[in-house]
Structure 1
Amino acid sequence: MVDRRLIQQLDNPDPEVRKKVIKALAKSQDPSAIKYLATLYKTDSDPEVRELALKAGKYIRKVAGDDIGGDSGRSMSFTSPLDTAEDEDSVYPQDDASAPPRPEDIEVPEADAQRARSYLEQALDLQ
């Protein structure tokens, strides 16, 4: 079972704290964390937090195998809204100021992107 104190910290206003919690959830390899990571992926305002939550959920799912399921025994899925949306505007509405920016609209310097990749690789290297 997921540590409730960790789950409460997913609401912390500091994105660095949320990232640490995501890493801890990934290290736990607990399939019950997937629903919290999915919610964070869909709702967090920080794109780095969303991306890390997605990768952590996919990692847990991979480690746990295809036999993870909820209380009803149904297989839990962790997909990006872009994987299931009929059109991109349903995920990134153009007229909604509170919607996250489209990935192609975010300009990230190459040095920052490389640094983020290295942090992500470190976070997911659970050996």
Structure 2
Amino acid sequence: MTCVLVVDDSAVIRKVARRMLERMGYAVEEAEDGLDALNACQARMPDAVLLDWNMPRMDGLTFLKTLRAAPAGRDAKVVFCTTENDLDHITQAMAAGADEYIFKPFDEPALEAKLAMAGIAR
């Protein structure tokens, strides 16, 4: 089963994303920020990461750059999921190795479409 790591400092967002992803047939893990996410990836690399931008301790962009610098982190698909909706943020994310970008708030059909666009199979 495809595992998606949901990385967001909001427990509500993690819970909503978990419910949507589980309904779609994914296994789900959670992390509160980029540092927790790196630790989770070192323990078991997920197939995909749903990633917030603004978080304490380590933001999403720093996490993504660190993940992509590690050999094992090059294959995980990453979808930024954030309120940052300007072209500069999107450009930075894609340049750092994001596979897709979705804006908050999102619904299940939009999330499912972005996962498909990123090539994340169930």
- TM over 0.5, shorter chain: no
Q: Answer with 1 or 2: which has the greater Rg.
A: 1
Q: Please indicate the TM-score interval, normalised by the length of the shorter structure.
A: 0.3 to 0.5
User: Which structure is higher in RCO with an 8 Å CA cutoff and minimum separation 6?
Assistant: 2
Instruction: Normalising by structure 1, report the TM-score.
Output: 0.34
Give the structure with the larger helix fraction: 1
Q: Whose strand proportion is higher, 1 or 2?
A: 2
Give the TM-score taking structure 2 as reference length.
0.35
